[in-house]
């Protein structure tokens, strides 16, 4: 399984491959072997056999569209599964068919649309102007 996640405002690529009771989790190209034990609904114990490090993890759904809070070592991290372009090349030459989702780094209001429906866009081309207040 391959996912693209927004983790605390940073896009991360994660792939998970099951190997019996263990998983190989690849985070941004770096593989880590992990033993997983389910402790209850949304609660897991993760152990890295090579290092002996262990993490208790709690995952709680917080909103629609795959939004969850992940608690690891007392730290809460907001995670959202990104739907568009998983497994595709990003940047120049990226392709997509049908509606695609654009995510802004903060809430805001679209004040101007720079392209028309059906227009081809290239990497780094402006598509919309968003008005936002960062506090």
Taking 60 as the threshold, does the pLDDT of residue 50 lie above it? yes
Predicted pLDDT at 56: 92
Q: Who has greater pLDDT, 84 or 70?
A: 70
Predicted pLDDT at 22: 84
Let me know: does 11 contact 26? Beta carbons within 8 Å: no
Q: Which two tokens stand for residue 45?
A: 């114990």
Mean local confidence (pLDDT), 21-45: 88
Taking 50 as the threshold, does the pLDDT of residue 73 lie above it? yes
Nearest to 55 by CA among 67, 41, 66, 43: 43
Predicted pLDDT at 78: 86
- In tens, the pLDDT along 77-95 reads 888 887 644 444 444 444 5
Nearest to 79 by CA among 3, 1, 2, 6: 6
**Environment class of 36 (CB within 10 Å of its CB; exposed 0-12, middle 13-18, buried 19+):** middle
* Residues whose CB is less than 8 angstroms from the CB of residue 95 and which lie 6 or more positions away in sequence, other chains included: 88, 89
- In tens, the pLDDT along 122-132 reads 777 888 888 87
Q: Which residue has the tokens 């770096």?
A: 30
Taking 70 as the threshold, does the pLDDT of residue 51 lie above it? yes
């Amino acid at each position: 399984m391959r996912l693209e996640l927004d983790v605390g405002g940073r896009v991360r690529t994660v792939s998970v491959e099951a190997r019996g009771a263990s998983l190989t989790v690849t985070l941004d190209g770096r593989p880590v072997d992990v033993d997983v034990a389910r402790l209850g609904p949304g609660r897991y114990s993760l152990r890295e056999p090579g290092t002996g490090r262990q993490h208790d993890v709690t995952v709680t759904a917080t909103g629609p569209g795959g939004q969850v809070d992940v608690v690891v070592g007392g730290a809460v991290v907001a995670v959202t599964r990104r739907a568009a372009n998983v497994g595709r090349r990003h940047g120049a030459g990226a392709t997509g068919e049908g509606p695609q989702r654009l995510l802004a780094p903060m809430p805001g209001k679209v004040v101007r649309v720079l392209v028309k429906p059906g227009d081809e866009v290239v990497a780094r081309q402006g598509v919309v102007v968003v008005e936002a207040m960062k506090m």
